Structure 1
Amino acid sequence: MITDPFFYLCAIPAVLLFGMAKGGFGGTVAVVSVPLMALAVPPLQAAAILLPILVVMDAVALWSFRGQYDRVNLRILLPAAVAGVVVGAFFFRYLSDDAIRILIGLIAVVFCLNYWLSPGYRSKTEPNWVKGSFWGMMAGFTSFGIHAGAPPVSVYMLPQQLEKKLLMGTFAVFFAAVNFVKLFPYAWLGSFDSANLLTSLVLIPLAPIGVRLGFYLLHKVKEQTIYRLAYFFLCVMGVKLLHEGVLGLIAAQPLGAI
């Protein structure tokens, strides 16, 4: 089990933030969690520790939003997301920790820039097989590596302007299915060793707390301030991970290759 206090200083808020997002408060700010934990441990280890906790969160979220989901969108998104998970399983295993840090850093910074520079959604859209399949696959891919599937799927779902609980219930079913599928390739890749599983077990009690807190705050607190702070810190962490990843790749090169 991980005993480094700095890890828990990063992991506890990361788990609570992810749980609050699962509960409907903060939405895509769950993308903060893996980059935050990756400040203390390698990115794929952070993702492996978080996955069993997410499965528990999914169960709480499914109960909280039971019966509230959009069947049409799920039929479009889920097959593509499973394909994205398969691609991620074969892609991420060939990357070094520094390459993954660079990838996570790039994704984090791009998500922040999209949030800050997006003009907003102006007109309501309808479910679309082509767009839904593309964004579903992207969500499965980013969800596999860094549990950051919410931003891609949000790009597709938010313009439809569904009622808020229906939207969050659709997210709950989607990510419960995706995270369950991810258990198999994570086990295949050997990510669930005893140290990671014991660390997950220590953090699991925070899962229902975060989800129920997010569900409670859904209609109690303005989300805009949370979004602004979360994306600011996400950008800072993304830049830091980019910096560490680039320096690590440079240090790994033979002197003659620089």
Structure 2
Amino acid sequence: MELTPLFFAAAVPAVLLAGISKGGLETAGGIAAAPLLALVIEPRLAVGLMLPLLMLMDLASLRAYWRKWSWADARMLMAGAIAGVVVGWMVFGAVSSDAVRLIIGCIAVGFVAWSVGRRLGLIPLGRPQPPPAGLFWGSLAGFTSFVGHAGGPPAAVYLLGRNLGKTPFQATNVVTFWWINLIKFPPYVALGMFTADTGKAVLALAPVGVAGVLIGAWAHKRVSDAWFFGLTYVVLAATGLKLIHDAVV
């Protein structure tokens, strides 16, 4: 991984979008980051690079939502996520770089389809979910988070069915993905997903991530997220399709 102008042209918007999403403006920024980076660097390194930055953003978000979460729901998702992370670890260790591109690309395109369907009312959410269902959805969140930092949809399916208010919903997401990102770190190290250049890139991009969190927190109650949704979905769909093309051609 070389820290070229092309790298930063993809990395800066990717990290900024992720920070805005973490800060509370509900966009797909966190999911878009890894696919964007995977266009310019090896996909495992792209996913690995984002993890320390997401963990930094988690710390900033935890402070804003401290103890506002539903611990009963977070606990179920966090417990289920362990199995999903283990499966993700096994998959990443057994497949080629093109297979990783294909997985990330399919998750990106699938997320856009899921989100658009949800907004159009084609995918019903909010159905009552018993607490044990959190183990299942947590395992899916752990897997998709491991392979592409895309655990949001499975967690949302469960939490939207728990009838939480806006703040407990966001806070439960924050503490759940703080935990998932934490337990992902050792497997990422074992898989060699960090390099010396990763550390340099993290130091360079950390201020961008923090700025994104602050922007997201400021915009949470002041700005409609419709424009950000549209922009991010277009970028995510195009990026996902490009990764799929590169993987199969």
TM over 0.5: yes
If you compute each CA radius of gyration, which structure gives the higher value, 1 or 2? 1
Deviates more, 1:89-98 or 1:161-170: 161-170
2:46 pairs with 1:46? yes
Aligned counterpart, 2:85: 85
- Counterpart for residue 152 of structure 2: 150
What is the Cα deviation at residue 27 of structure 1? Answer: 4.1
Q: Which residue identity does 1:111 align to in structure 2? A: F
* Paired position in structure 1 for 2:196: 194
Structure 2 distance, partners of 1:111, 1:201, is 29
TM score, norm. by length of structure 1: 0.90
1: CA distance between counterparts of 2:90 and 2:6? 31
Unaligned runs of 5+ in 1: 248-258
Q: What are the equivalent positions in structure 2 for 1:164-175 lying under 5 Å apart?
A: 164-175=166-177
1:30 to partner: Cα distance: 1.7
Alignment of 1:29-108 (within 5 A): 29-108=29-108
- Rounded Cα–Cα distance in structure 2 between residues aligned with 1:105 and 1:121: 21
Match of 1:255 in 2: none
Q: Which moved more, 1:9-18 or 1:197-206?
A: 197-206
User: Residue deviations 1:177-230, cap 9 Å, x none?
Assistant: 111111111111222221212211211122221111111100111112211221
CA contact (8 A) 2:129 2:161 kept: no
Describe the SS at the equivalent of 2:222.
coil
- Bigger shift: residues 190-199 or 175-184: 190-199
Partners in 1 of 2:149 and 2:198 — Cα distance?
Answer: 16
CA distance in 1, matches of 2:124, 2:11: 37
- Deviation, 1:97, is 1.1
Q: Conserved in 2, the CA contact under 8 Å of 1:73 and 1:127?
A: no
Query: Which is further off, 125-134 or 100-109?
Result: 125-134
CA shift at 1:143, angstroms? 0.8
Measure how far apart 1:161 and its partner are: 3.9
Q: Please, which moves more after superposition, 203-212 or 72-81?
A: 203-212
Contact 2:28-2:233 within 8 A present in 1 as well = no
Alpha-carbon shift at residue 58 of structure 1 (Å): 0.6
Q: 1:242 to 1:124 in 2, by over 3 A?
A: closer
Structure 2 counterpart of 1:252: none
In 1, Cα distance between equivalents of 2:128 and 2:78: 17
Aligned equivalents of 2:26 and 2:116: distance in 1? 15
- 1:211 corresponding residue in structure 2: 213
RMSD across aligned positions (CA): 1.7
After superposition, the Cα gap between the structure-2 partners of 1:10 and 1:123, relative to the gap in structure 1 and judged at 3 Å, is closer
- When structure 1 is superposed on structure 2, of 117-126 and 225-234 the one drifting more is 117-126
Q: Deviations over 1:96-152 (max 9, x none)?
A: 111111111111111111222332676744442443222111110111111111122
User: Which residue in the other structure is 1:18 paired with?
Assistant: 18
Does the 8 A contact of 2:27 with 2:228 survive in 1? no
TM-score, length-scaled by structure 2: 0.93
Distance 1:124 1:51, change over 3 A: closer
Label 1:173 to 1:90 Cα distance change in 2 as closer, same or farther (>3 A).
same
Output the amino acid matched with 1:60: A
Letter in 2 for 1:173: V
What are the superposed Cα offsets for residues 37-93 of structure 1, whole Å, 9 maximum, x if unpaired? 111111110111111111111100001111210111112111111111111111111
2: CA distance, partners of 1:16 / 1:42: 20
Q: Distance in 2 between matches of 1:92 and 1:123?
A: 31
**Partner-residue secondary structure (3-state), 1:160:** coil
User: Gaps (5+ residues) in structure 2?
Assistant: none
Q: What percentage of residue pairs aligned between the two structures are identical?
A: 36
The code of the aligned residue for 1:79 comes to: A
**CA 217–28 in structure 1, closer or farther in 2 if over 3 Å, else same:** same
Q: Is the 8 A contact 1:112 1:231 kept in 2?
A: yes
